[in-house]
Amino acid sequence: MSTIDLVKIQDLIIHTATDVGIKVLGAIALWVIGRWLIGIVQRMVRGGLERQHIDPTVVRYVGSIVSVTLNILLVVGILGYFGIQTTTFAALFATAGIAIGAAWAGLLSNFAAGVFLIVLRPFKVGDFVVAGGVNGTVKEIGLFSSTISTPDNVSTMVGNSKILGDTIQNFSNTSYRRVDLKCLLPNTANHDAAIALLKQRIGALPNVLATPAVEVSILEVTPAGPVLAVRPYCSNEHYWQVYFDTNAVLNNVLVSNLA
């Protein structure tokens, strides 16, 4: 091989490497700038929706859709920059989508269920619910799953299709809820006096509602004595405080006055 041929090969390698390097740097720049612009668009969309006082659940869901769509367009644009025909890529993407859709039918059903959750609105972000077998506060309704923070502060992701296909209990839809407790009275106690005393003591607890009034009634009779149903009412945010305080009252009344 002559010196001239070696020079040509070196020139070709340098030219190719330079061209590829420029394209790679350009792709990196497109990715960085594109991601920056996507972030701006997301903030603008969310800001616009929030200014219209749109529900936070809808805002987050729309934000997720915008993010996914723009990122796909960014990837297609970068591939086009490298000379890959976007029409060919679109056909391949569609074919792959069919295959993935057949294999991941559950994922698509989760997506469809997420749309129905937004439309039907059985709950929203911030509600305390039992959904998909998990109870806690809804933190996010995503494209494929929803995030629920349980009372012991565990962030749990539940598939949207599981939520929609199961029973949903929303404790935040009403302004108050009932605390259900039981109390066993000894046979030697004055039952009427015990019921009156419990109503008075529990009704005086902080955050127990006056209307509906505290309910204390005989639920069943056992050989050991009657079992009382004790039912104070309170707002949703004070449920556990009233629950524990009522238990304390039951214990104090039984020990101090009815033993």
If we measure between CA atoms, which residue out of 152, 214, 217 comes closest to residue 185? 217
What gap in Å lies between CA 73 and CA 33, rounded to an integer? 13
What gap in Å lies between CA 100 and CA 93, rounded to an integer? 10
Question: Token pair of 153, please?
Answer: 């502060």
What gap in Å lies between CA 35 and CA 25, rounded to an integer? 15
Per the confidence metrics, is the pTM higher than 0.85? Answer: no
Residue stretches of the chain with pLDDT short of 50: 103, 258-259
Measured in degrees and rounded to the nearest 5, phi and psi for residue 54 equal: -75, 145
At residue 149, the pLDDT reads 93
At residue 165, the pLDDT reads 87
Measured in degrees and rounded to the nearest 5, phi and psi for residue 129 equal: -135, 165
Distance of CA 107 to the CA centre of its chain: 17
Bridge-based pairing state of the strands 233-235 and 155-159: unpaired
Bridge-based pairing state of the strands 145-149 and 134-141: antiparallel
* HSE-up of residue 98 (Cα within 13 Å, Cβ side): 5
**253 contacts: CB under 8 Å, gap ≥ 6:** 194, 197, 198, 201
What gap in Å lies between CA 124 and CA 139, rounded to an integer? 9
- AA letter at 134: V
Measured in degrees and rounded to the nearest 5, phi and psi for residue 146 equal: -115, 145
Question: Token pair of 137, please?
Answer: 């506060």
At residue 95, the pLDDT reads 58
Domain annotation for the chain: domains and CATH numbers? 3-103 (1.10.287.1260), 120-170 (2.30.30.60), 176-258 (3.30.70.100)
At residue 130, the pLDDT reads 93
At residue 203, the pLDDT reads 92
If we measure between CA atoms, which residue out of 255, 177, 188, 181 comes closest to residue 224? 188
Tallying the residues shown for the chain, one arrives at 259
